Amino acid sequence: MKHNLNLFILFFFAMIFFIFGWVSHSSYSPVHKIEKPSLLKQIKQAKELRVVLLNASSSYYIGPNGAEGFEYELLKSYAEHLSVELNITVVNTVQEAIEKVKDSSINIVSAALTKTPLREKRFNFGPSYFEVQQQLICNRSMIRAKTFPRTLEDLKGLDIKVGEDTSYSETIRSLVADGFDINVTFTSAYSTEELLEQVSSHTIDCTLADSNIYALNLPYYPEMDMAFTISKREQLAWVFPVPSRELKVDMYTWLNDFNQRGKMAELKDHYYSNAYFFDYYDNTMYYKRIKQRLSKYKKIFQEAGKKYTIPWKLLAAISYQESHWNPNAKSFTGVRGMMMLTNATAKLLGIKNRVDPKQSIVGGTRHIKQMIKFVPKEVRGENRLKFALAAYNVGMGHIHDARKLAKRLGYNQNIWSDLKQVLPLLSKKKYYKTLKYGYARGEEPVKYVESIYKYRDILENYDKYTKAKKK
């Protein structure tokens, strides 16, 4: 009996201690609660902002002076704001970019993605940074053939192709669901830019493109034209694979300040002003500037041309293409002067003042002469100068890529007439994804070289006309 009583007392006190301990533990709140750092803090701690960028003219590409692109510049500025490095993962299509949204190791996906109702259900969007409208783009010859569409009803019977998993495919599917008769092909094989090229060559009748992409490509595909706007104003925005309130708030605050300081306007002007107000050859203005400006610098061009054995009229044409003979010319990226030299190039050439006409012209001529030396020895004659000029515009790395591609495709890699057929292929995913330096707006160096020689020809004809008039 006594033994049972002792067991009962022991059990009773054990229960008391258990209940007391459980209550104490439940009511205890640690002073230092361990929390996982926010995504913004993780980025700062890692000193690295990991982003996905679309390899395209509106987003990111390698230009003559390195990485360029509107979206790249924005994210580079934000990385500088955070005092971290920008780590870039490049994709070739919107579909590939959307796949990367599933990757939690990525901080931001930037691929000219519009905020559509369907996407807002799927993705965690951040701040909007650009406003666009979807436009129907068709071949200009259809105007003469009286098949150029003016309304949605006119789309019946036309050959239309748009990218799969794009905002354009959402729009077309919505129109078909509403009863519009549209013959459309959805493709993952081509980028929007490649489809615009197909419209210009009339491989297809029409495609859809955002207004900014159409504007950027219009100078290079002149046989296309905008039929009509097919959407309301839409916002391009970044996507966060991992939800982060702090990161989103910080980006909104930074972007607002970026706008307030006029940096956004400056960036848009750099990438889009020439696109919206484009003219290949403004002959009237060119003749006017020959009279008003060239006479001031003609002697410098002649002396530099003689010293470095490059025709002075060609040097003058290069300078006009670069700066319109404005010694104070300056671009958003910091290139300056008559020959639009970068600060790094100027230092290598020993130039102390890039806005000094003589230093700029002589320095630019020396730089072109150096570029000629970098052209492979197999390239001969006038071809060497044209190759060098193309490299001056797009970078020697892309010229090497184009030569490799030319050889692969059966072209002569050592002559300009063949290389200029291949350079535009550097903007096509099928080709650039196999090359070392990737995407390049290959149309641009072709236009650049052809424009320079056109300006030179005008200058030579003007000179002959002036001499004849004096007799």
Please identify every residue annotated as catalytic.
322
Assigned token pair, 211: 């207004």
Strands 184-187 and 160-163 come out as: parallel
Detail the DSSP E strand segments found in 164-313: 184-187, 206-210, 224-229, 234-239
- CA distances 274 to 20, 41, 172, 468, Å, are 77, 39, 30, 36
Q: Which amino acid is at 399?
A: I
- For the chain, the distance separating the N- and C-terminal CA atoms, rounded to the nearest angstrom, is 143
> Coil, helix or strand for 86?
strand
3-class secondary structure, 213: helix
CA neighbor of 439 nearest in space, from 67, 127, 114: 67
DSSP string over 6-22: HHHHHHHHHHHHHHHHH
Q: In what order do the strands lie in the sheet with 234-239?
A: 85-91, 48-54, 108-110, 234-239, 125-132
Report CA dihedral (164, 170, 176, 178) to the nearest 10 degrees. 170
- DSSP annotation of 189 reads S
CA distance 77 to 74: 5
Secondary structure class of 145 (helix, strand, coil): coil
Q: Are 225 and 137 in contact (CB under 8 A)?
A: yes
Q: Are strands 125-132 and 234-239 parallel, antiparallel or unpaired?
A: antiparallel
H or E stretch including 271?
Answer: helix 263-276
Please give the helix or strand (H or E) that residue 282 lies within, else none: none
Dihedral class, residue 14 (left if φ above 0, else alpha if ψ from -120 to 50, else beta):
alpha
* Separation of CA 73 from chain center: 9
Query: Tokens 């070739």 belong to which residue?
Result: 92
* 457: number of Cβ within 10 Å: 12
**Angle, CA of 282, 63 and 428, to the nearest 5°:** 90
